[in-house]
Structure 1
């Protein structure tokens, strides 16, 4: 956030010398010292002094000067009619904006026009359509922790809460977690534009990925009593929507902040305060959302995402609902099956699907319309848009008349046609009203008898004036006589100087011009007063009638929001069915013991390529698969497609596969890709280990884990040790379904030791041979390599790194030298294998429970004596080795396995290896 600290320094220094207007600006800046104040002067919003200089720089505007009796000040202004785009730029630059409008008519003010801050605009509390993306959510969130003196310390769930509200739609969420990490994860999933931080919050938003603005607000609103008082304005029983003290503080303070930004008014349309348990949804933390590219592409070309593939929604309501479903897939099998039943029915009924889509395209963003209506900011066109949406409801109900599945039937039943609201708007609001609601023309004729009389009087008077010109020409004989009107003098009869002798006696002079005179008659004056009086009274009456109609519609906001909720869900279900048909998706079977996918495809990648190679996945018998193969062969794509198929299934969507039998997973973990956080003091390897720590601590047997190249950021010895220990831990302790891509070919031997581990590899074609078996030879160094992108059982025979380097354009001399070194390494390995009885150098040491520690030497090879080993040297070496082994054994005996964390275990293993190396 960019700080705005108090009034401009020049004004502070010369406070007593300021003009009344600048003094007024100074006072507003002092009252809103964390905001950039936009101060209305006529048709512009102005800033002065240092604020003007900063505004001119950010908005790339010309800095002007204001001169008065006290001196010259820098000044920068933006036109009020086009203020939204400039405010958006200021928000992007990290500013909060306070808009100070003239709150009295300048023509009626005695002296200085009064001004007041009428709106506060921050990234999370934007409500203007011009500043919001259509069909998107825009949350302001709040984090708070329970006061230990007010909460039961034994109730761990009461500690840390996250609340979020979309001020533009009224959606409000609240949840809590037992530790700050879990609460931070929910905050990441909400992805707020702004975060209000409680005074005792132990959730650190600084750890968030992204650029959400951090805001500190009045600490008093976080007190339990104050929060309860605020929440009571929205729900009669606060305890019905919050589960503990932390949640009460978070949601109460958040609503108080939202009210503050909207002019300290209760936001009546915030009626859907929903408490949820994070465990009730498939948990996707920020790392998983980013790695799986659900909403944001990680590629350099900013390519499509999963959301882009699925987003065939017809209206903004559906688009926003689809985002919500993707951020929080289900874990309740009954609810998932209910969605799948609806999608299944809609895929088989193309006419119904197309009919629904056509009707839903006529649906406006009702949630935001209702919010504007409730805040008293909706104009007549907004009400007509609301009616146009409600007019669609009967058609949608008709389209679902023959629905079979329970979900579609329940949605149809929840569609209130709101005949009373539609009728009121239809009778009251003109079919094509103007934007302004104070200048007449917004109320339909026939709605109010008094208004009709006033308008009739106005029309009759104007018609009399229109006929006056011809009648006066005939009466006076002046052919050039004309009748006109202006804002200053009203109606007049104009006669040129040459015809002044023919002016009748009942004409009274009103204005003298260079070549003519303007007159009025008693009857014209009477008609003028009648017209203007009727017009003013009619405009005022229309405005009052409009406000009454808007208020009556606002009282039905909950009913309208319920209809909007149903329409949003119908839109998403229709969209998922359309996408399934267009992309040949199939319905998944849920409840399986392990993942079994036939012909699985990556939903995003297949849309970008002319041909995509489907691949099977069988993680039923062996729940952990080690995936080997060259770079560019498709390992990462394969792992991500499995995760995306699982996510899609639990959203309630069909999946890109020939068939899929899936379990319901509780969480998807990803450790994919290389990145650092230098500012946070984390190298690439440290960040990798931090992500691995999260996985090993929190994964369960019902989780899906994707690991890509764990341990590659350090030495080969350490990295391989970490990779193997991780594999064993996930197999023995966690039991999670895991896909582990690795270039450590030595690691593949673990499949021989662990019954639940299998090897998979991606096939490569070299010349006329294909590496579709794990023992296929590498072939000649100069053979062409083709990646087939097919997965097969067994381990890959090579990583083909030199071939990939050649394909990337590495200089031929470097490639040739690399091939020589590889050949030398391979011949050395073969020689060593023929001259010793040790295991193959690429074979890792067996697990300790499979053999005694004393049977292995420090380098992990068999310690059998060979004939070439001198007896004395052998004995000395054995004594030294025994000493080291005793140290290792003693260290292992002292370890409390039950309390040792995975990261501590990896560190210990590394230390023990170094001890043996010594």
Structure 2
């Protein structure tokens, strides 16, 4: 693991260290991968190079510590406000080791004992201040194949804040997709892991944790019969190493990981695959700027509680493939749509639900306070009311969830009997346990209360007895209870008063009875506080034993919240229930809408989509006309339907899609050594190798970044390959108008274009998709609308009408090409893959091998079909050039 290691180096040159500094450097050496925060009183201190790092990153004062062994740079942060500073260190890529005082300073004969109680990393954060309420914080672990000939990798995910633990395995690309989908903040890697793209912090952990024997033993300590859950030794190694790292970071004094009670194994193939490119291109969770506004999750998230928010995210990340399961969710949403009173009552109750997943984690780790327990009870009190509201629910999913709700009456009753309704935050200072719960505690509190009442009456009694009207009875932490008499009245002080303290203008006294009462009150209070804490920890431990039951209730509450939310969104936004059809038929959507864009554009224009008879649509039209929005909205309708939601359309008849592929825009990957075009081709390669007839493919302007001829050839060949070899449902937006000719040559290809209303130089985008090819791309007109200077616009129009001048080199190349053709050379544009086990696809300019005579006949037919009056000059020149090339090639 990476870290600073700097403080330990400093120690190498120090043989005369003080005991405290020796202790600090020893801890730094032991945890050399972390920046050690060393408790000194009420502060966490760092020294030497670590202090310089902390001061710079945290913008705190760099001071010095001087002792018998020398002078050290030093910087510190207050313990009470440490969370925000720790977050800054984590964001900067550091791990943080917390070295707490584990001994009462008053009991230490020398240096106070300190120990690292926990190591905080991005994936092991448990502090509420550092966790996002609505999001899982996953720690992941990757393992690779160990058997010769195996290519299976495994990945395990653990959210330490909730106890959610999942594992799966598969080929490297499958596991990479799961990493991209769940987006862990930290990934542990070991031997034979392989090369993965990791977005969060990467941590290399000790190899022995990945040993199968150690892994089996560790997993078995958490989950009975792990062999019945896990599919392979690769998965077991991932789970075992993950648990070992979690134990390492959490230390021995934080309550353990007993709340991790189950591992869920899942198959990636059981849900729609959405890789990183699709997640980014469809803007499911992040927009193009990396924010969460104007995303699909942002539109859907009307959840009532944090439990529901996380589950909504999980459902959206993993749309279902099982049509029965999809229909069950649709059934529940439909009933909640039809029964608005049931939906509203359900949502109103769920607003009172606390995040009991994380709360029970704090309980199990011994970090929950009394208010946390009351919050748990408050949530559990909602359960009987929810069951009553759902009593007449009819659809199976709602009925099953009602029956699955455990009211946890024993836990609720225990908290109600034991914990005061409004306890303090601190659990060591009393007033936590209800009166009547424990007889001994009640007796101690009665003694304390009686003593305080006696003291309260003492002032009035002594004033009357002594005649000193200014006499006061008080208390302070140092001297205890006292009777205060001002100096002018000292001659009237009774003989039984014993002087306790002399002030400037008064004297303080005590009496034998006051001293006895003081000892009685303080003794009872201290014993009561101590007993209250013991009782509280015992109650907390009893509740922790029911962690699995609480986690199950949390899961049911979360699902109810999501179903009610999907119904609410459907009603508010006019979504309809989709119809699932046989896999062999295509997508058919009436008046579909983009669920995000329609929230920002009130005049959004719905459009139909029909990929049933023709499964490939070549889409043309100017920029800004709506092509990209249209393609994305089709994909989002599919994703919504398979996650269990209704969809933004008048009607939708949909097959179950196994995967959505997107090639809808790329940028340079400079660090990875890839240009925009190379990234585009890499993504395109993945699509052509992995898509199936059950996939939805979105292609936007494939072929950009290279010459027009090369780009056009690639786009044409890709379309043919998808049609001939894959048969995937495909939306292909392009400015290569030649591509529309494929519809005449392939039976399952059709043309769509987005309409424009043009009046003179004014152009209005109608955002309506209609059959046929677009007349032009209107690029110059779009440039004018964007504010490009008028001279540039005019020159562009001139070049369009006259053609762009060729350079001398280009002219020479053209002459050479003609000579080569006259000598019998047949130039071909070829697309091939040499590193894949797939057939080579070749697009030739000789019309699939037909002879010269047949080619001339086809050219004549194409010329007769031209509508010359409707063509722009550029289109006419382009077609003329094409005819000339085809005639030359046929010779």
Distance 1:556 1:192, change over 3 A: same
Question: Contact conserved, 1:597 with 1:657, CA < 8 A, in 2?
Answer: yes
2:873 alignment counterpart: none
1:90 alignment counterpart: 89
Question: Contact conserved, 1:8 with 1:50, CA < 8 A, in 2?
Answer: no
User: Following superposition of structure 1 onto structure 2, how do residues 642-657 of structure 1 map, counting pairs within 5 Å?
Assistant: 642-657=634-649
Q: Secondary structure at the match of 2:777?
A: coil
Distance 1:906 1:196, change over 3 A: farther
Pick one of 546, 559, 564 that aligns with 1:569. Answer: 559
Measure how far apart 1:459 and its partner are: 0.4
Measure how far apart 1:909 and its partner are: 10
- Tell whether 2:739 aligns with 1:747: yes
Q: Secondary structure at the match of 1:65?
A: strand
2:405 alignment counterpart: 415
Pick one of 203, 207, 217 that aligns with 1:215. Answer: 203
1:245 alignment counterpart: 233
Q: Distance in 2 between matches of 1:681 and 1:562?
A: 47
Pick one of 798, 801, 806 that aligns with 2:779. Answer: 801
Measure how far apart 1:6 and its partner are: 4.5
Distance 1:496 1:817, change over 3 A: same
Q: Secondary structure at the match of 2:451?
A: helix
Question: Contact conserved, 2:6 with 2:50, CA < 8 A, in 1?
Answer: no
Pick one of 798, 802, 816 that aligns with 1:824. Answer: 802
Q: Quote the RMSD (CA, aligned, Å).
A: 2.6
Measure how far apart 1:116 and its partner are: 1.0
Pick one of 175, 192, 198 that aligns with 1:200. Answer: 192
Question: Contact conserved, 1:677 with 1:687, CA < 8 A, in 2?
Answer: yes
Question: Contact conserved, 2:162 with 2:361, CA < 8 A, in 1?
Answer: yes
Between 20-29 and 329-338, report the one with greater CA deviation: 20-29
Pick one of 593, 603, 608 that aligns with 2:600. Answer: 608
2:158 alignment counterpart: 165
- Tell whether 2:170 aligns with 1:227: no
Q: Distance in 2 between matches of 1:723 and 1:557?
A: 56
- Tell whether 2:270 aligns with 1:333: no
Measure how far apart 1:916 and its partner are: 8.2
Measure how far apart 1:798 and its partner are: 0.4
Pick one of 672, 682, 696 that aligns with 2:664. Answer: 672
TM-score, length-scaled by structure 1: 0.88
1:880 alignment counterpart: 823
Q: Distance in 2 between matches of 1:672 and 1:227?
A: 43
Q: Secondary structure at the match of 2:143?
A: strand
Measure how far apart 1:12 and its partner are: 2.9
Q: Distance in 2 between matches of 1:652 and 1:515?
A: 79
Pick one of 274, 299, 308 that aligns with 1:309. Answer: 299
CA distances 1:436-480 after superposition (whole Å, capped 9, x unpaired): 111111111111111000000000011111111111222222222
Q: Secondary structure at the match of 1:17?
A: coil
1:638 alignment counterpart: 630
Distance 1:194 1:827, change over 3 A: closer
CA distances 1:353-385 after superposition (whole Å, capped 9, x unpaired): 111111000000010001011111111010000
Measure how far apart 1:93 and its partner are: 0.9
Q: Secondary structure at the match of 2:135?
A: coil
Question: Contact conserved, 1:764 with 1:787, CA < 8 A, in 2?
Answer: yes
Q: Secondary structure at the match of 1:399?
A: helix
2:141 alignment counterpart: 142
Q: Distance in 1 between matches of 2:845 and 2:371?
A: 70
Q: Distance in 1 between matches of 2:84 and 2:57?
A: 12
Q: Secondary structure at the match of 1:401?
A: helix
Q: Distance in 1 between matches of 2:734 and 2:249?
A: 52
Q: Distance in 1 between matches of 2:349 and 2:678?
A: 53
Pick one of 555, 569, 586 that aligns with 1:579. Answer: 569
Between 222-231 and 256-265, report the one with greater CA deviation: 256-265
Between 19-28 and 506-515, report the one with greater CA deviation: 506-515
User: Following superposition of structure 1 onto structure 2, how do residues 388-403 of structure 1 map, counting pairs within 5 Å?
Assistant: 388-403=378-393
Question: Contact conserved, 2:8 with 2:26, CA < 8 A, in 1?
Answer: no
1:513 alignment counterpart: 503
Q: Distance in 1 between matches of 2:655 and 2:273?
A: 15
CA distances 1:278-319 after superposition (whole Å, capped 9, x unpaired): 000010001100000000001598741000000000000000
TM-score, length-scaled by structure 2: 0.91
Distance 1:215 1:546, change over 3 A: same
Measure how far apart 1:805 and its partner are: 0.8
Question: Contact conserved, 2:336 with 2:567, CA < 8 A, in 1?
Answer: yes
- Tell whether 2:784 aligns with 1:791: no
1:236 alignment counterpart: 224
Q: Distance in 1 between matches of 2:818 and 2:530?
A: 109
Distance 1:404 1:219, change over 3 A: same
Q: Secondary structure at the match of 2:534?
A: helix
Question: Contact conserved, 1:602 with 1:638, CA < 8 A, in 2?
Answer: yes
Q: Secondary structure at the match of 2:770?
A: strand
Q: Secondary structure at the match of 2:797?
A: helix
Measure how far apart 1:117 and its partner are: 1.1
- Tell whether 2:727 aligns with 1:735: yes
1:834 alignment counterpart: none
Question: Contact conserved, 1:198 with 1:250, CA < 8 A, in 2?
Answer: no
Distance 1:303 1:875, change over 3 A: closer
- Tell whether 2:236 aligns with 1:259: no
1:4 alignment counterpart: 4
Q: Distance in 1 between matches of 2:601 and 2:257?
A: 48
Q: Distance in 2 between matches of 1:260 and 1:364?
A: 29
1:845 alignment counterpart: none
Distance 1:346 1:23, change over 3 A: same
Q: Distance in 2 between matches of 1:407 and 1:236?
A: 29
1:174 alignment counterpart: 167
Measure how far apart 1:23 and its partner are: 1.5
Measure how far apart 1:85 and its partner are: 0.9
2:688 alignment counterpart: 696
Q: Secondary structure at the match of 1:51?
A: helix
Measure how far apart 1:610 and its partner are: 2.0
Question: Contact conserved, 2:223 with 2:262, CA < 8 A, in 1?
Answer: no
Q: Distance in 2 between matches of 1:220 and 1:600?
A: 55
Question: Contact conserved, 1:702 with 1:737, CA < 8 A, in 2?
Answer: yes
Question: Contact conserved, 2:845 with 2:889, CA < 8 A, in 1?
Answer: no
Question: Contact conserved, 2:292 with 2:298, CA < 8 A, in 1?
Answer: no
1:901 alignment counterpart: 838
Measure how far apart 1:905 and its partner are: 3.9
Q: Secondary structure at the match of 2:442?
A: helix
Pick one of 464, 473, 477 that aligns with 1:483. Answer: 473
Gaps of 5+ in 2: 807-812, 849-884
Question: Contact conserved, 1:722 with 1:906, CA < 8 A, in 2?
Answer: no
Q: Distance in 2 between matches of 1:43 and 1:141?
A: 34
1:291 alignment counterpart: 281
Measure how far apart 1:521 and its partner are: 1.4
Gaps of 5+ in 1: 768-781, 829-857, 860-872
Q: Distance in 2 between matches of 1:379 and 1:301?
A: 35
Question: Contact conserved, 2:363 with 2:541, CA < 8 A, in 1?
Answer: yes
Measure how far apart 1:266 and its partner are: 4.1
Question: Contact conserved, 2:2 with 2:33, CA < 8 A, in 1?
Answer: no
1:125 alignment counterpart: 124
Measure how far apart 1:825 and its partner are: 3.7
Measure how far apart 1:827 and its partner are: 14
1:840 alignment counterpart: none
Q: Distance in 2 between matches of 1:128 and 1:875?
A: 73
Q: Distance in 2 between matches of 1:701 and 1:420?
A: 54
Measure how far apart 1:787 and its partner are: 1.0
1:779 alignment counterpart: none
Distance 1:515 1:877, change over 3 A: closer
1:867 alignment counterpart: none
Pick one of 315, 319, 340 that aligns with 2:309. Answer: 319
Measure how far apart 1:71 and its partner are: 2.6
Question: Contact conserved, 2:271 with 2:320, CA < 8 A, in 1?
Answer: yes
Q: Distance in 2 between matches of 1:677 and 1:875?
A: 39
1:503 alignment counterpart: 493
Distance 1:579 1:176, change over 3 A: same
Q: Distance in 1 between matches of 2:349 and 2:427?
A: 30
- Tell whether 2:286 aligns with 1:343: no
Distance 1:702 1:189, change over 3 A: same
